[in-house]
Amino acid sequence: MRIFKKVLAISLLVLLGLFVSTCLGIRMTGQLNWMTLAYGIPVFLLLGIIAYAITWAISVLS
C-alpha cells in the first residue's frame, strides 16, 4: 500500500511538473510547440528532484 501511495505521489508531481513547464514555455514563447517544452524542461527537472527528495524523506521517516 505504501508503494502505491509513493507511485501515485510521484506521478501526480510529474504531471504537475509537465503542466507548469508547459505553461511557462507558452508564457515565454507565446506559442505551443516543441520549443515550449525545451524552455520548461529545467523547471520540470527541478520539480523531479524535489519530488525525489520528498519521497526519499518520507521513506526514511516512515
Check if the beta carbon of residue 62 is closer than 8 Å to that of residue 2. yes
The pLDDT tens digits of the residues spanning 14-35 come to 777 777 777 776 776 677 666 6
User: Is this model's pTM higher than 0.85 or not?
Assistant: no
Residue 39, amino acid: Y
> With helix as H, strand as E and coil as C, how does 15-59 read?
HHHHHHHHHHHHHHHCCCCHHHHHHHHHHHHHHHHHHHHHHHHHH
The pLDDT tens digits of the residues spanning 35-51 come to 666 666 777 778 778 87
Q: Tally the residues of the chain.
A: 62
